[in-house]
Structure 1
Amino acid sequence: MTTDPNVAIDESSGATRLVVTGDWVSTQATAVEEQAALLARQLAGDGSRTQDVAIDLGEIGRLDTVGAWVLDRARQEGAADGRKAPFVNTRPDHLLLLEKVHYREVERPPAAGHWRLIDFLASVGESVVDFGREMGRGVSFLGEVVAGLARLVVHPGRFRFPAFVNQMEQTAFRSVPIVTLISFLVGCIVAQQGIFQMQRFGAAMFVVDLTGILVLRELGVLLTSIMIAGRSGSAFTAELGSMKMREEIDALRVMGLDPVEVLIVPRVLALLVGLPMLTFLASMAALLGGGLVAWIYGGITPDIFLARLKAAIDFSTFMVGLVKAPFMALVIGIIASHEGMAVGGSAESLGRQVTASVVKAIFMVIVMDGLFAVFFAAINF
């Protein structure tokens, strides 16, 4: 049978004691809070009391974590002026519970400043510092991957070929349908818009030059890299992050295996090999789409399209896109793997790192494409 919690004052022994009785459990939360408030007021008194006041728990009934936490909170709030209010006549199990659920003040963050300009500048500075730290961690991780590749070159027997083949299937072969379809549609759109604009000047034939050069130099590798960053990059981060959450990566280290060699190197190598092949297929699909639209929409027959395309481009135009592909693959693989290894122990952390992986990879792919464009223009290639 549950009895109501109660607090009574006992001064029979010459010293003031607060005797706690009844059951201080969660099922009587309202009564517990009321009696705890009374206990705190009795401890505080009118401010003139100077002696310590003991809290006698010898007659208390049942006590759970809620009751213990509320009792300790009331004790600390009532004795906030520095006087002591110890628990006395406490049973060992109650004493252990009171120690475990000890009440602690919550630290409040400092109040935000009111100068918006200063807050904005501070935020910009923090972002710059965070970016620098992230770049440093990325370079360090790149060094780990390069070191892992070097160890595999020295000891080829440690290379996990089945893992590499599996990653090639996942990242390259299974990406062929979506990559070729999107590239085909983009080629159609580029040719259609080019014909629509150029026919006003009687130069519809130049759409072949536009489509060929734009697809082979820029669009083929750029579209492929963006799609791979969204598809395979996010998969890398999610896979590694899930393994990090389940402590599988720590288990590999305990077994004496290097997670970089086992998990990351096969993925990066698969991207390095697969992305140039996907770029080639994407470029061919885009040219096919452009040629089809030019035939239907502009009256440019396939033989004329191919002849004009052959005159407009050369081998260097074709190689520009393929040269970029391995660098794009390396960037995607490093960012995706690094974000996966940075996942914490929560699902929120996993979702945050997957999002960061895709955003950073796409951003860096576009930045690298711009840098390559400036470089090739500077060397007139």
Structure 2
Amino acid sequence: MQAAHLQPDSRALRLAGEWTLAQANQLATEIERLRPVDSALPFDASGLTRLDTAGAVLLLRLLKACGREGVLDSVSGLRSADTALLQLLIERGAGPATPIPRPHGFTALLARMGAALESFWINARQLVGFIGLTLLTLSKVLTGKRRLRLTATVFHMEQSGLDAVPIVALLSFLVGAVVAFLGATVLRDFGASIFTVELVAYSFLREFGVLLTAILLAGRSGSAFTAQIGSMKSREELDAIRALGLDVIELLVLPRLLALLLMLPLLAFIGMISGLVGGALVGAAALDISTGMFISRLYEMTEIRHFWVGMIKAPIFAFVIAVVGCLEGMKVAGSAESVGRHTTSAVVQSIFLVIVLDALFAIFFMELGV
């Protein structure tokens, strides 16, 4: 590899060596150091042995610095291939890029806030419309006007439900143990360690059991729905389904929705039991609360309404997770980067909506005194 040079002498500004990407930093430095006296000299490119696109862009930058932008006649000794490359770059406007100033200040902040609000409004409208379309198709399935894809539904029940049992049970067990430890730490100072049973029972039956399960499924199944449908969208399989006269909602969305509607309540129940088991083991190991005492106090002091408060939320959370995941998959533009972006968006939106709905449920049940 010959080193690239930009050598001014008394008669010409000589270009020598290989003007390639590997020499770009050195050449850019030499161009910046060019003196006004040297820039008035004629150009001699007879010593130029190799020129690629990066070197051609630098040569155009040199011409611009010398006040001869786009004038190739001022460069002697160019090979025909190099001249054609430079001419192509000039026609395509591939000179040195002019940096676009980024807006800043209060006006730019308002512009970004407005763009964010507009995006939120568009996404909200799309979500509401997709929910309506899904409910309409579901009503047709229930009335026999559309077909229930039972095989696909059972497959997704296994994929999003049964396969998630270990992670849901383990996480709920560990969180139940942590809640029991934290509760005992505070209640021990008041001589009320026995109330750790109620703390674990209320927190898991009403909130943690279903909430942890929903968040896990939002990250696990919701993202899977988006990735699966998004990949089909990028490979134009959704267009093929429509070309065959089939309904995408009936074929792809409803099996996933029904699977999650059936499996999330079951997983939430498993999460509740696992959390209670975790609290009971901590009570037996560290709080001198035997397993029999834990179960007896749980039976005596915990009302069944707390269990139903948690279970009522499960179908709502399942519906939101499935609809958001499928909708984001439908939005994929066709590239792998778009699939990743919409998968991330599906997880964020699902978790956000689940937590917001859980907060609204908590306020609602508090007002009802349940």
TM-score bracket, shorter-length normalisation: 0.7 to 0.9
| Contact 1:212-1:312 at 8 Å conserved across structures | no
Q: Paired residue for 2:156, among 161, 164, 167?
A: 167
Give yes or no for the alignment of 1:70 onto 2:86: yes
Aligned position for 1:296: 285
1:264 is displaced (CA, Å) by 0.6
Tell whether 2:300 aligns with 1:270: no
**Separation in 2, partners of 1:378, 1:43:** 84
2:358 pairs with 1:328? no
Measured in 2, the distance between the counterparts of 1:362 and 1:218 equals 15
Is 1:113 equivalent to 2:103 in the alignment? yes
Q: Distance in 2 between matches of 1:103 and 1:140?
A: 44
Which of these two proteins has the greater Rg computed from alpha carbons?
Answer: 1
* Identity among equivalent pairs (%): 41
> Which residue pairs with 2:218 in the alignment?
229
Conservation of the 8 A alpha-carbon contact between 1:276 and 1:326 = yes
Distance 1:208 1:108, change over 3 A: same
Amino acid corresponding to residue 299 of structure 1 in structure 2: D
Aligned letter for 2:71? Answer: R
**8 Å Cα contact 1:215-1:286 kept in structure 2:** yes
Query: Which residue identity does 1:113 align to in structure 2?
Result: P
Q: CA deviation at 1:110?
A: 6.0
Aligned residue type for 2:101: A
- Return the match for 1:146 from 123, 135, 157: 135
User: How big is the shift at 1:197?
Assistant: 1.4
Structure 1 CA distance for aligned equivalents of residues 182 and 313 of structure 2: 26
Which of 112, 128, 135 lines up with 2:117 in the alignment?
A: 128
The whole-number CA distance in structure 1 between the counterparts of 2:69 and 2:197 is: 88
Q: Over aligned residues, Cα RMSD in angstroms?
A: 2.9
CA distance change for structure 1 residues 158 and 291 in 2, over 3 Å: closer, same or farther? same
TM-score when normalising by structure 1: 0.75
Q: 1:260 to 1:212 in 2, by over 3 A?
A: same
How does 1:237-276 map onto structure 2 within 5 Å? 237-276=226-265
- SS of 2:126's equivalent in the other structure is helix
User: Separation in 2 of the partners of 1:109 and 1:352?
Assistant: 27
Distance 1:32 1:186, change over 3 A: closer
Per-residue deviation, 1:67: 6.2
How far is the alpha carbon of 1:311 from its aligned partner? Answer: 2.4
1:61-114 Cα offsets, whole Å, 9 max, x none, are: 987xx865632555x6xxxxxxxxxxxxxxxxxxxxxxxxx6689997963334
Aligned equivalents of 1:240, 1:369: Cα separation in 2? 27
Give the direction of change, closer, same or farther, for the CA distance of 1:108–1:259 in structure 2 (3 Å limit). Answer: farther
| Matches of 2:164 and 2:322, distance apart in 1 | 16
Alpha carbons of structure 1 residues 342 and 106: separation in structure 2 relative to 1, 3 Å = farther
Q: Distance in 1 between matches of 2:115 and 2:215?
A: 29
Letter in 1 for 2:203: L
Query: 1:342 is matched with which residue: 323, 331, 344?
Result: 331
Aligned 1:178-197 pairs, distance under 5 A? 178-197=167-186
Alignment CA distance shift 1:282-1:32 (3 Å): closer
Contact kept? 2:56, 2:85, Cα under 8 Å: no
Contact 2:260-2:322 at 8 Å conserved across structures:
yes
Identify if the C-alpha distance between structure 1 residues 131 and 207 changes in structure 2 by more than 3 Å, giving closer, same or farther: same
Q: Which amino acid aligns with 2:357?
A: M
- Residue in structure 2 matched with residue 361 of structure 1 by the alignment: 350
Q: Distance in 2 between matches of 1:297 and 1:31?
A: 75
**Structure 2: distance between partners of 1:268 and 1:330:** 6
**1:41 and 2:57 matched:** no
Task: Provide the residue aligned with 2:195 in structure 1.
Answer: 206
Whole-angstrom distance in 1 between the partners of 2:364 and 2:296 = 29
Q: Please, which runs of 5 or more residues in structure 1 have no aligned partner? A: 1-25, 45-60, 77-101
Query: How many pairs were matched up?
Result: 312
CA distances 1:132-166 after superposition (whole Å, capped 9, x unpaired) = 11101111111111121122123266111000000
1:370 to 359, 366, 369: 359
Contact kept? 1:171, 1:270, Cα under 8 Å: yes
- Equivalent pair of 1:32/1:67 in contact (CA under 8 Å): no
Q: Deviations over 1:212-265 (max 9, x none)?
A: 111100000000001111111111111111111111111101111111110011
Cα deviation, 1:326-352, whole Å, max 9, x if unaligned, reads 000011011111111111121111111
Bigger Cα displacement from structure 2, 155-164 vs 270-279? 155-164
TM-score in terms of structure 2 length:
0.77
What is residue 284 of structure 1 aligned with on the other side?
273
Per the TM alignment, residue 39 of structure 1 is displaced from its structure 2 partner at its CA by 10
Deviations 1:16-66 (A, max 9, x none): xxxxxxxxxx9755699979x78943789xxxxxxxxxxxxxxxx987xx8
Q: Deviations over 1:253-282 (max 9, x none)?
A: 111111111001100111111100100111
Aligned CA distance change for structure 1 residues 109 and 329 (closer, same or farther; 3 Å): farther
